[in-house]
Structure 1
Amino acid sequence: MSTLLEVSGVSKTFDGFKAINNLSFRIGRRELRAVIGPNGAGKTTFMDIVTGKTRPDSGTVLYGDKGQSLLAMSESRIAQAGIGRKFQRPTVFEDQTVRENLTMALDGSRGPFAVLWSRATREAAHRVAELAGEIGLDGTLDRKAGELSHGQKQWLEIGMLLAQNPKLLLVDEPAAGMTPAEREHTTDILVEAAKTRAVVVVEHDMEFVRRLNCKVTVLHEGSVLAEGSIDHVTADEKVIEVYLGR
């Protein structure tokens, strides 16, 4: 599998606390990867570094065919290069309909003027309908986003990110606060999305990670503690000790 993202020897210290400690791992081009670990393991800092929010003290982060350094790029340039991030709390335009939210997010209409003056072309309308189908919101296109359930808002935000056609999607704890049925549907959305791009899911919920059925990277004290299938990592003595608290 060809590499899309390569993190090598990355370290970051905040006020004497080493949040990331010589972190190295790779993500493939069309791969679903789960990143787990206890609080303070470095999961959020890792995402902050990849998206340009935080600069590491040392190491390299290379992305894409030509191995571009993400550390030389601004947050907006990284987003334009095809890296999308979904935070824990859904951020959607609550007063706009599901259709309007997805239309605003469509690739190519990022500028405010493009959004204001664009006429909903047939192509855009078709893509919006397609996205709504992918995230399971095709029956809610004309409902205001504020009326959706928590789980539906999470799906809408994932749809808005997919509308921008990212090559790498970072998703932070998507299962938090969801019903079992919503979590099942979220699994389906992420598994499907990873068929055409890389999807990295940062999660605490081990059952949710098990359902994703993908390679798992366990972080502890800012570096990789174990890597492999969920069965492999949950049977690892070091993981049991630090993560499962036994």
Structure 2
Amino acid sequence: MSTLLEVSGVSVSFDGFRAINNLSFRIADAEMRAVIGPNGAGKTTFMDIVTGKTKPDEGRVLWGEKSVSLLKMSEAKIAQAGVGRKFQKPTVFEDQSVQENLLMALKKPRGWFPVLSYRPSGEDLAKVATLANDIGLGDALLRKSGELSHGQKQWLEIGILLAQEPRLLLVDEPAAGMTPEEREKTTDILVEAARTRAVVVVEHDMEFVRRLNCKVTVLHEGSVLAEGSLDHVTSNQDVIDVYLGR
């Protein structure tokens, strides 16, 4: 499997506090990875660095087969290169229908004229209908997004990202505030997405992580403390001391 993203020797400090400390991380093209760790471990800063929101003080962030440096790119260019990010709180256009939200997100030319003159083709509508089915919203296509439950809004936001055809999906605590049924469906959506792209899930819910059934990276004080299966990392004494023992 070829490496899609390689973070190597990355450090960043804020006002003297080292949020990321010589962090190295790599993920392959179609791979699911869970990232866990205590609050302040650097999980959000790690995602900020990959998406270009934060520039590190040192280290490399290489992308794709040609090992292009993401550090030289703007946030917008990184998104166009295929890095998609979902934040904890869902942000969808509440007054627009599920269908309209997904249509707006489809990978299309983004100049002002194509956007103003856009009319969805039959192919676009079919693509969006398939996507809505994949995220469990096939029956809600014409509903206003503001009427959806919290869990359904989370699914819609994942769908909005998938519509942009990213090669890497960064997802922050997707299970927070969901019912058990919604959590199960979210697992299915993410596992399915990871068949064709890399998916990194930052999560505190260990049951949710277990259901993802993937390699786990444990961060602590801005660097990797342990890596491996969930059973492997949760039996690591260092992990128990700094994270699970709390």
Q: TM-score, normalised by structure 2?
A: 0.98
Matched residue, 1:34: 34
Cα drift, residue 111 of structure 1: 4.4
Matched residue, 1:70: 70
Matched residue, 1:158: 158
What CA deviation, in whole Å up to 9, does each residue of 1:115-174 have, x standing for no partner? 332111011001000100110100000000000000000000000000000000000000
Q: For 1:193 and 1:224, how far apart are their aligned partners in 2?
A: 25
Q: For 2:57 and 2:118, how far apart are their aligned partners in 1?
A: 43
Q: In structure 2, what residue type is equivalent to 1:205?
A: D
Q: For 1:97 and 1:110, how far apart are their aligned partners in 2?
A: 21
Matched residue, 2:89: 89
Is residue 203 from structure 1 mapped to residue 178 from structure 2 by the alignment?
Answer: no
Contact 1:104 1:115 (C-alpha < 8 Å) held by counterparts: no
Q: For 1:221 and 1:17, how far apart are their aligned partners in 2?
A: 10
Q: For 2:109 and 2:93, how far apart are their aligned partners in 1?
A: 16
Structural mapping, 1:176-195, within 5 Å: 176-195=176-195
Matched residue, 1:7: 7
What CA deviation, in whole Å up to 9, does each residue of 1:203-232 have, x standing for no partner? 111110001000000000000000000000
Cα drift, residue 235 of structure 1: 0.5
What CA deviation, in whole Å up to 9, does each residue of 1:170-197 have, x standing for no partner? 0000000000000000000000000000
Please, which moves more after superposition, 108-117 or 13-22? 108-117
Q: How many residues align?
A: 246
Q: In structure 2, what residue type is equivalent to 1:201?
A: V
RMSD over aligned Cα, in angstroms? 0.9
Contact 1:104 1:110 (C-alpha < 8 Å) held by counterparts: no
Q: TM-score, normalised by structure 1?
A: 0.98
Q: For 2:128 and 2:114, how far apart are their aligned partners in 1?
A: 17
SS of the counterpart of 1:243? helix
Query: Structure 2 regions of 5+ residues with no counterpart?
Result: none
